[in-house]
Structure 1
């Protein structure tokens, strides 16, 4: 009887362990599905936000911008035909105020457009339209990226791909964009063996250096086993808090 009880106990213990394992696995799967759902919701909200910003920018440009332009032209015409000396200064101030308002509208529309750029989508468009040779993209960035980082990475990626087409005999290109706890990273590599005399001194590369310098980052070029660009930009706490 003792042997039978021991056997039953072992069987019950094994069933219990299996049940715990199954439940743990189910909880992990449920947690993963929940996390994926949250990420999907965040992505949808972000995409909707970008779309709304674009819509607002278009409406401001098409409606308010055109009305201000018309008002500026009318005020200029009135100043031209006006004969009253006492009205010259008020009309000048009116024209200046309308011109200032137009400048502010242009700045606001530009800022809205900048904020509505999705780094991942634009980078994927760049790589999908690059037909010179096979290209891979490893993108490990958050949904929201500071504007300065977005435009620095996009500008440098465009310039790098253009240089590959013009100067390289590469048969493979890879792009890495990654967020680290303290910095943003961009690495662009190709396996080309041709190097122009100005491989590390061209105007395009100098522009890259200047852009990264303004962000207090570092950029290095390597001609070993092809051509590589390594970029690291430290995170700006103020900029991240504005996202």
Structure 2
């Protein structure tokens, strides 16, 4: 907008100068020609075409001195494009010297210089603004990641404490009640009074119910202490040289044993990929189907030994098959465009 108003001012000054010096009937023609040249210089970006346009206008100035009345308008564009080099065409004013035209040319170059400096400052401000915006977005992302990590650490601490409590209940109270049940059983053998035996039976039954309640509580604590998704994410994070994509779509709560078995399968899949493949990407998909759970582990490796994979010791594919059979499911694996394990675990 600044450029538009400045060029409009220069154009009015040039128009005034041309009609005050020479009231020729054809002056409107040079007025229109100068506007066309100036607008064309604003629109084009190719440097060669710009030089051609400037050259054509200079030729017109030599051909007809009336074009010199609008030289300040072209000098404005010239300074914006080439800076102080535009002063090389400044002597053209002496072809048909006019003091007013000379002053208007000086004003035009001065306005162009101010505008150019203004544009430089604007560009610097834009760069600083974009940098600040980029830093702000980075800080927001960093703070969000810190918040997520803090929540994860809190959740891990809670789950760890639950696991510790479950172990203590199992080791201390559980063992103590189990020992009490055995001692009551021993007392029943040495006791001869029916009334005492009856009381011992009641005590023994109470201890057994308490033991059963403790086992359920311990089972629930163990179940809650194993967050399957977080544990799988932790496994993925512990393998930095492998780009792992996790798709986890299980909403319902799983039993501790099932969680542990699924985690074992995923761990084995990642281990196989790291040890026996040159893969760079691994995709783990865990889905909840109406009647079964689906686990798919696929990498993009090409250099692997089929015999090593199928006969490896430890958990290996044999243990994965045992997990599948444990839940009346099945497992398939293939070596097409990478190694793929497809495991199905039935519900119920």
Q: TM-score, normalised by structure 1?
A: 0.64
The answer to whether structure 1 residue 230 and structure 2 residue 318 are counterparts is no
Tell me whether 1:138 sits opposite 2:244 in the alignment.
yes
Superposition deviation, residue 55 in structure 1? 1.9
Structure 1 residue 25: Cα displacement: 0.9
Q: Which structure exhibits the higher relative contact order, with contacts defined as CA atoms closer than 8 Å and separated by 6 or more residues?
A: 1
State the 1:229 CA deviation. 0.4
RMSD of aligned alpha carbons:
4.5
Aligned to 1:192: 305
**Residues 65, 102 of structure 1: 8 Å contact kept:** yes
Which structure: greater helix fraction?
Answer: 2
Q: In 1, Cα distance between the equivalents of 2:295 and 2:174?
A: 38
Find out whether 1:61 has 2:170 as its counterpart: yes
Residue 210 (structure 2) pairs with residue 101 (structure 1)? yes
Aligned residue in 1 for 2:193: 84
Counterpart selection for 1:73 from 182, 186, 193: 182
Report if aligned partners of 1:175, 1:186 keep a CA contact under 8 Å in 2: no
Partner Cα distance (2:131, 2:270) in 1: 49
Q: Where does 1:1-243 land on structure 2 (aligned, <5 Å)?
A: 1-117=110-226, 119-120=231-232, 123=235, 136=242, 138=244, 140=246, 147-148=254-255, 150-157=259-266, 170=276, 172=278, 176-177=283-284, 186-188=296-298, 191-194=304-307, 204=319, 206-210=321-325, 220-224=332-336, 227-231=339-343
Question: Which deviates the most, 27-36 or 77-86?
Answer: 77-86
Query: Does structure 1 retain, via aligned residues, the 8 Å contact 2:235–2:267?
Result: no
Summarize the Cα distance change of 1:2–1:185 in structure 2 as closer, same or farther, 3 Å threshold.
Answer: farther
Maintained 8 Å contact 2:266/2:284: no
Give how far 1:49 is off.
1.1
1:150/1:181 Cα in 2 relative to 1: closer, same or farther (>3 Å)?
closer
Deviation at 1:187, TM superposition (A): 0.3
Distance (Å, rounded) in 2 between the aligned partners of 1:44 and 1:27: 25
Aligned in 2, Cα 1:161/1:102: closer, same or farther, shift over 3 Å? same
Secondary structure in 2 matching 1:224: coil
Deviation at 1:27, TM superposition (A): 0.8
Q: Structure 1, residues 165-214: CA drift from partner, whole Å, max 9, x if none? A: xxxx955577543578999854055732339999xxx9755544456777
Distance 2:124 2:235 in 1: 51
Secondary structure at 2:305's aligned position in 1?
coil
**How many residues are aligned here?**
214
1:100-155: CA deviations, max 9, x gaps? 2213323322332343346248847x98xxxxxxx95726478x995556324223
Deviation at residue 75 of structure 1 after TM alignment: 1.9
Q: Do the aligned residues in 1 keep the contact of 2:296 with 2:340 (CA within 8 Å)? A: no
Structure 2: how far apart are the matches of 1:29 and 1:161? 31
Match of 2:307, SS? coil
Residues 24 and 226 of structure 1, relative CA distance in 2, 3 Å threshold = closer
The answer to whether the Cα contact below 8 Å between 2:321 and 2:331 also exists between their aligned partners in 1 is no
Work out the CA distance in 1 between the residues paired with 2:150 and 2:127: 34
Do the aligned residues in 2 keep the contact of 1:219 with 1:232 (CA within 8 Å)?
A: yes
| Structure whose alpha-carbon radius of gyration is higher | 2
